[in-house]
Amino acid sequence: MIGFRLVKRKPLPGWAIILIPIAAIIVTLILSAIPILMAGGHLWKSYYYLFYGALGTRFNFLETFVKASPLLMTGLAVAFAFRAKFWNIGAEGQLLAGALTATALGVSLGGVSKPLVLPIIIAAGFLAGGIWASIPALLKTKLKVDDVVSTLLLNYVMIHIMGALLFGPLQQPGSSWPRSMAIVEAACYPILMARSRFHMGIPLALFAVLVVWFINKRTIFGYQSKAVGVNIRAANFGGINTTSVILWTALISGGLAGLAGVGELCAIQYRLIMDISPGYGYSGIVIAMLGNLHPIGVLLSSLFFSVIIVGAQTMSRMTGVPTYIAEVIQGTSLMVMLIFLLFTEYRIRMVRKP
């Protein structure tokens, strides 16, 4: 009988790191042909409209960036945390914490001098997300509570906090729906290009890529954070205060996710609703993995995702394939990428079983 086993391989050269995500995307698109054909869509036409819908017209091209900005923020948030092996599955809740804070300030800062409003909201939104993420970090470092489960559960705690506030103090007077008042004009992100929704949150997200890259590569904290991720015990013996490193990592990670929430509120919705995020926090996990936890990789994979999400609308209109194909492609791409990453470390060897 012939069996297979996985054998460790030598580290792959640098080009492989770029080539692997691209190969994973190609395999994902090949696999996604199955549901498209199942839906009776013409394959080439479907993929044509997928990409045309995202990149083909000026408005849609800019819209792809609009969609990419929250994905980029949550992707960076997750990647930054995962690099230190702080398993932050809670970007969704941290995003909501940011959006909630931005709402509370956005409806009430009408009297404050206008140029101050946005900086205050952005700083507060970052802090809210960061503090929400530091709770599981504290639980992990001080009480040994598993971070995956605690961050996941805190998402639902935050959803219900938001629900309680939207049915309570934050609810628009006179409305029976769970929605807040609209934020004041000074709290809205400026639109940077006419006849589009291309807003300030996009350059802000690109700036965040640079900041995360700089922290990772050029600061002692970035080095320590990585060391904690590689081997926390060795880092401890090496004199790194691992508790404080994990806490700061969580604070920055949650802060980035919080900014995604601020952006969605102040540039897209202008008022808080229960569906402020269609799961950007969870998509962020896939984007971080697909981008190999590297800020540039996260940038590229968030763009890939927003192409799929925006393009799926046109594809659905033109071919009748349901828009949920975007979610199917996202899920498939994560699993394909996982398998590809495995083969960067291992190779398959055929063995003869006695």
Q: Which chain residues interact with another protein by CB under 8 A?
A: 5-7, 35, 38-39, 87, 89, 139, 143-146, 148-150, 152-154, 156-157, 159-164, 167-168, 282, 285-286, 289, 322-332, 334-335, 338-339, 342
| 38 vs 220, beta carbon nearer another protein | 38
Q: Are residues 66 and 198 in contact, defined by beta-carbon separation less than 8 angstroms?
A: yes
| 109 vs 309, beta carbon nearer another protein | 309
Minimum Å gap between C-beta 61 and another protein is 25
Minimum Å gap between C-beta 329 and another protein is 8
Minimum Å gap between C-beta 88 and another protein is 11
| 178 vs 201, beta carbon nearer another protein | 178
- Give which of 94, 69, 74 is closest to 206, Cα–Cα: 69
Give the 3-state secondary structure percentages of the chain, helix then strand then coil, rounded to 5.
70, 5, 20
Minimum Å gap between C-beta 108 and another protein is 21
- Give which of 63, 34, 43, 81 is closest to 315, Cα–Cα: 43
**Phi-psi bin for 136: left (phi > 0), alpha (psi -120 to 50), beta?**
alpha
Minimum Å gap between C-beta 330 and another protein is 6
CA-CA distance, 281 to 276, in Å (whole number)? 11
Beta strands, E only, the chain: 2-8, 346-352
| 249 vs 332, beta carbon nearer another protein | 332
| 214 vs 324, beta carbon nearer another protein | 324
Query: To 10 degrees, what angle do helices 220-230 and 58-83 make?
Result: 70
CA-CA distance, 326 to 312, in Å (whole number)? 6
Q: Token pair for residue 97? A: 């914490």
Minimum Å gap between C-beta 279 and another protein is 9
| 199 vs 294, beta carbon nearer another protein | 294
Q: From the CB of residue 225, how many other CB atoms can be counted at a distance below 10 Å?
A: 26
